[in-house]
Every structure is written in structure tokens, then in C-alpha cells.
A and B are shown apart, each in its own frame.
Chain A
Amino acid sequence: MIGILTSHWSEFITGFGNTILCSLIALFFSLVLGIGFALLEVAPIKFLRIIAKIYIELFRNIPLLVITMVFYLVIPQFFFKVSGFVAGTIGLSLYTSAFIAENIRAGINSVGDGQMEGALSNGMTYTQAMRYVILPQAMRIVIPPLGNQFINLIKNSSVLAFVAGFDLMYQADVVALSSFQTINTYVIVGVFYLILTLPLSYYMRYLEKKLN
């Protein structure tokens, strides 16, 4: 097992780096989109709420792999060619943003109505009240579920392997095929994933306990 690790070290590290890079980029965009659509979902205008609802339900109920394949195969037919890495990251961002939006919406709803009414009656506008009163309280509640979404995002980044995104899972395939040591390779790759996800998962459990 050590033999594979040392002889294919560069493949593993490239894959590890790409997985981290893809996860961080997708985390950023899915957070931005997620907060945006969560705000639309609680907006006082019905039209905006419907748009947000459609977006969220659409991306929550279609497999990530299908979304990614659409970006990898269908988009180039109309617009421009996208690399596997970009297509995978876009798919991952959109898919995760729907889940993050749902979590944040639940967080906003769990902040009592009185907070909004109080802020408004103190002369704040709706945007100010949202920005300074509701969102800071909601974000504190949603940190554990957001952490779990981030763990899911890291695990789901393995979908890049389908579109030649050169992530950890893709490299695992390459190494397994060339070395014929399937189980050993997958165990090593599993350890690489656990290095990322396991500490995060224990930290989230600790936070959850602390918040309760």
C-alpha cells in the first residue's frame, strides 16, 4: 500500500489539490447563491418567492450527476466549451446552493417574527432589518447544518471523475487501472477524503452540542 502511495504520489497530490480547489470555489459560489435565494424565498413579494422556490426545488430534486453532465455536454453545444473541472464546479455550486438556501431559510424563519417587527418599528428599512438584525442571528443557527452541507459538497466533488475533472476520485481510477491494485488504491483515496471530511464532521458535532 505504501508502495502505491510513493510511486503515484504526484497523481494523488494533484487530485487532492483539485478536490480542495473545486470544493472551495463551489463553497463560495453556493454560499452566495444560497444566501441570495434564501432571501428571495422570504421576500415580501410573491413573484420573487415563486422564482426562488422553483430554483430550489429544481436543483434539489435532480441528481447532481445529471446537472453536471448537462453543463459538460449540453452547454458547449450552444455557447462555449467548458472543461470538466469547470463544468463539475458549476454543477456542484448550483446543486449545493439549493440545499444551503433551504438551510438558511429555515434559519431565518426560526428567528422570531418579533425581531423583524421590532427592527421595522425602530425605523429600519426591510433591507437594514434583514442585514443587521435577522441575518446575523440566523447565521449563528445555521452554522452546523452549513458545515454538514460543506462535508456533503466535498464528498460530492467526486462527481468530477465523470467529466474528467482530474480530482481525487479521477486519479484513483487512473492509478487503480495502471497499478492493478484496486483495493489498496481505493483505501488510500478514502484516507485522503477522510483527512478533509472527518475533522470537519467532528467539529460540527462539537459545535452542535455547544449550541444546544
Chain B
Amino acid sequence: MGNFAQAYSWVDIRFLLQGLGVTIYVSLISIALSFIVGLIFGFIRNMKIKYLSAIVGFCIDIIRNLPLLLIIFFTYFGLPELGIVTNPILASIIALVIFEGAMLAEIVRSGINAVPIGQMEGARSNGMTYMQAMIHVVLPQALHKMIPALLSQFVSLVKDTSLATIIVLPELLFHAQIIYSQNSTYLIPMYLIISVMYFVVCFSLSMFASHLQKKFNS
């Protein structure tokens, strides 16, 4: 047990908390950007614009069915080959936004589809344009329906940031690896505490999701 007391010295804990800070920072930026991307592309896919919607839909399906790790590799090692210079933080944010944006677009699409067609027809026959009907009538109801799915996607985004250790993003798991590579007896204490940290962050988000779900169902 002596290991635990030593491993959890303030210096190490502070170092881990810095990692957690990077995890949360990257997650928050990616959540905000991928939500916007997902909303726009899910919307375009649903608008049934000739060719454009089909192409967007196909791209979304391709990205959704690739492993995130592959996309992370691509943005970090592949983009420089095309002359685009990235750093770990930028590369992981780009990868997360591409991947989660596609996942969210799919959620948005099925959310809009879940709103009965009569809502749109009713709004249109009351003299609204397509965009007005979408923004004021359909989207608010759709967002309401998709909030639980959106939040659980955000939880998996937070977990997925750990994959970016492979491109040396200085996040929680990477900082833990630095600590236990200097002293291998810290291996177990480190995995224990980062599991707790990830759990606390993700579980509180999950709890918030199920709270919202209950609130909306009643």
C-alpha cells in the first residue's frame, strides 16, 4: 500500500489533473464544433436536395463506419503529407470533429425523421416557408427527441479522447503513462486513479442524460 501513498503525491496528482484539463478542453471544443457540423450535415441530408443530399449522406456513412483511430492517424500523419501542418491538439480536435460530426449528423437525421410529417405539412399550409417551418416547428421538436442520444454521444466523445494518446496529445491517459514509465510500481495506482477520473466525468454526464430523458418523458 506504500506505493499508493507515494504515487498519489501532490506533484503526480497535479500532473494528472493537468492531463484531465486537456481531456476536458479538447472534449468541450470538439463537442461544440461537432454539434454544429452534425446539425448542418444532418439537416442537409434531410433536405432531399438533388445530388447534394445523397453525396453528403454517403460521406457521413463512410466516416461513421471507419474507426476513429484511423481518422486520428490520418489527420496527424496524413495531413502533413498534403502540406497541412498540425500539432497533436489540433489534429485530435479535427479528427474528433470529423468523426463525431458524422455520428451526430446521423442522430440529427433520425431525430428530424421522428417528427411526424404532419407537423411540416401543417406549418407549410399555414403559410410558413420550408425554412421557417423547419426552424420554428420541426427542429425544436426534433432536438427534444434527440437530446438523450446526443448526450450519450458526447460521453463517448470524452472517452474517445483517450485514443489520442497515440499521437502524444498530453491528456489524462498520456500523463499517467509518463508517470508510470518513470516508476513501474506506480502502474496500478495510476490506472486506478485515471479510471476513477474518467468514470466521474463520464458518469456525471450520463446521469445528466438520464435525468433529461426522465424529465422529457414525463
Binding site for B on A (CB under 8 A): 57-58, 60-66, 69-70, 73-74, 77, 151, 155-159, 161-162, 169, 172-173, 176, 182-183, 186, 189-190, 193-194, 197-198, 201-202
Q: How far apart sit A193 and B69, CA to CA, in the bound complex (Å)?
A: 12
Out of B69, B70, B162, which one reaches A63, CB within 8 Å?
B162
B54: chain A residues within 8 A (beta carbon): none
Dominant secondary structure of chain A at its interface with chain B: helix
Q: Are the C-beta atoms of A186 and B191 separated by less than 8 Å?
A: no
Nearest Cβ on chain A to B165's Cβ, whole angstroms:
7
Q: Name which residue of chain B comes closest to A186, CB basis.
A: B74
Out of A58, A186, A189, A201, which one reaches B199, CB within 8 Å?
A58
Q: How far apart sit A201 and B166, CA to CA, in the bound complex (Å)?
A: 28
Q: Are the C-beta atoms of B155 and A61 separated by less than 8 Å?
A: yes
Q: Name which residue of chain A comes closest to B161, CB basis.
A: A63
Q: Name which residue of chain A comes closest to B82, CB basis.
A: A183
Out of A61, A69, A155, which one reaches B202, CB within 8 Å?
A61
Q: How far apart sit A151 and B103, CA to CA, in the bound complex (Å)?
A: 13
Nearest Cβ on chain A to B135's Cβ, whole angstroms:
26
Q: How far apart sit A73 and B187, CA to CA, in the bound complex (Å)?
A: 8
Nearest Cβ on chain A to B31's Cβ, whole angstroms:
16
Q: Name which residue of chain B comes closest to A205, CB basis.
A: B61
Nearest Cβ on chain A to B186's Cβ, whole angstroms:
12
A173: chain B residues within 8 A (beta carbon): 73
Q: Are the C-beta atoms of B70 and A189 separated by less than 8 Å?
A: yes
Task: Check B203 for interface membership: any CB of A closer than 8 A.
Answer: yes
Q: How far apart sit A151 and B81, CA to CA, in the bound complex (Å)?
A: 30
B82: chain A residues within 8 A (beta carbon): 183
Nearest Cβ on chain B to A18's Cβ, whole angstroms:
14
B199: chain A residues within 8 A (beta carbon): 58, 61-62
Give per-residue flags for B175-218: 1 if the beta carbon is below 8 A from chain A beta carbons, else 0.
00000000000011001001100110011001000000000000
Nearest Cβ on chain B to A192's Cβ, whole angstroms:
10
Q: Are the C-beta atoms of A193 and B188 separated by less than 8 Å?
A: no
Q: Name which residue of chain A comes closest to B74, CB basis.
A: A186
Nearest Cβ on chain B to A105's Cβ, whole angstroms:
13
Q: How far apart sit A77 and B73, CA to CA, in the bound complex (Å)?
A: 31
Q: List 17 A-B contacts (CB under 8 A).
A: A57-B206, A61-B198, A62-B202, A63-B163, A66-B162, A66-B191, A69-B173, A74-B188, A155-B65, A157-B67, A162-B166, A182-B73, A182-B77, A182-B81, A183-B74, A186-B78, A201-B65
Q: Which of B62, B70, B162 has the most CB of A within 10 A?
A: B70
B61: chain A residues within 8 A (beta carbon): 198, 201-202
Q: How far apart sit A106 and B150, CA to CA, in the bound complex (Å)?
A: 18
